[in-house]
Structure 1
Amino acid sequence: MVPVRLTGPRLAIREFHHTPGDIDALYAVFGDPEATRYLPFEPRDREDCADQIEQYLEEAMQGERTVYRLAVTRRADAHDPARAVPIGNAALTLGGHRCADLGYALRPDTWGNGYAGEITGLLCDLAFGPLGVHRLAARVDVENAASVRVLTRAGFRREGRIRHDVHLRGAWRDSFQYSLLADEWPPGGGRSRTGG
């Protein structure tokens, strides 16, 4: 399934491009200490972000694609390529037994606009639709109340707490594990359109 293009009411999700604009956009998320506060890695430099995008493109070309790391842009900017730079990223990682993990990250200046909920809905549509996933999981830092609300609103159920799940900045962090099953997600629940 290459290339992926999902369209929601306000956002479009597409493959990353190995361009200065997309590299800078990923760096604006992954290089920002506030944006990475709850992510399972330390802030990255621009060169690391360029390497990440190269890896994303290699993963996209795999015959049996199992990883979808995608750029999130605003639909309003789509008509102007100079403005249609990513504001974040979205990820699905397929595992065995028709299961997948979901994730997302956004630039802090876009927080509070409901974008994470829209991304989650679009990823659920992709996972439960074309990808045929049965169980979608998400882990969230126990202190990340905003992501807990996003997952809960999307219908995810908390399964439990994973103690000392991630070691970052000299401390162990706990995570909540959430899941959503295919029969719990209404078709088109994310109001997405998939295109090539």
Structure 2
Amino acid sequence: MSTSLPDTLRTQRLILREPRHSDAAGLFNAYTQDPEVARYMTWRPQSQLAETEAFVAYCMKGWAEDRSRAYILARHENEDLPIGMLEARLQPHTIDIGYVLQRKDWKTGLMSEAITAFCDTALALPEYFRIQATCDTENQASARTLEKAGFVREGELKRHMMLPNLDDEPRSSLMYARCR
């Protein structure tokens, strides 16, 4: 499957762009080692830069293989300094997104701004009809972010996600979607 998603998106305050090897150090410093940021993630806080480097390489490979778009989020005034990511995992007709933002930018509306811009772009393309995302049932901030970006809560998925920072067993998630 070949996607026509753009390599770069711009919002009022952000640029969403393709990852580069040089982003690893910025991501590591911004949030990958922060336990509060990792709390509701499927990964544990990273203690070594090499872990973040491996993740960036994985994201770049997904981009090259046209199976995902892990956009780096950066402010316009410093496009080389990543503050977060929005990963879009591509499926026929559907995109599943995940996202993360450094803690100092929480509650600023930046993530809902990035998600809205991505969804507006993706849903304008003929090959995509649905963008979906899940979040832990206790992650109220993520649920609000999705709702601000126009997503509708569709239901609860029981014992759906492994979140190693919270539990050793699968936890329930809320399913959200935005469709055209």
Shift of the alpha carbon at 1:112?
A: 1.2
The yes-or-no answer on 1:6 pairing with 2:2 is no
Count of aligned pairs: 172
Q: 2-side partners of 1:156 and 1:3: how far apart?
A: 21
- Report runs of 4+ in structure 1 exceeding 4 Å deviation: none
Q: Could you list the per-position Cα deviations for residues 173-192 of structure 1 after superposition, in whole angstroms to 9, with x for gaps in the alignment?
A: 2110011112xxxxxxxxxx
Do 2:160 and 2:172's aligned partners in 1 also have CA atoms closer than 8 Å?
yes
Do 2:116 and 2:150's aligned partners in 1 also have CA atoms closer than 8 Å?
no
Shift of the alpha carbon at 1:3?
A: 6.8
1:81 aligns to what? none
2:123 aligns to what? 128
Q: Could you list the per-position Cα deviations for residues 105-136 of structure 1 after superposition, in whole angstroms to 9, with x for gaps in the alignment?
A: 00101111111111111220232134731011
* Superposed counterparts of 1:75-114, under 5 Å: 75-78=76-79, 84-96=80-92, 98-114=93-109
Shift of the alpha carbon at 1:92?
A: 0.7
Shift of the alpha carbon at 1:77?
A: 2.2
- Identical positions, percent: 28
Across the aligned residues of Structure 1 and Structure 2, the Cα RMSD in angstroms comes to 1.8
* Superposed counterparts of 1:36-185, under 5 Å: 36-44=38-46, 45-62=48-65, 65-78=66-79, 84-96=80-92, 98-130=93-125, 132-167=127-162, 168=164, 169-182=167-180
Shift of the alpha carbon at 1:69?
A: 0.6
TM-score after normalising by structure 1: 0.81
Q: 2-side partners of 1:31 and 1:159: how far apart?
A: 32
Letter in 2 for 1:58: K
Name stretches of at least 5 consecutive residues in structure 2 with no aligned partner.
none
Cα 1:36/1:131, change in 2 over 3 Å: farther
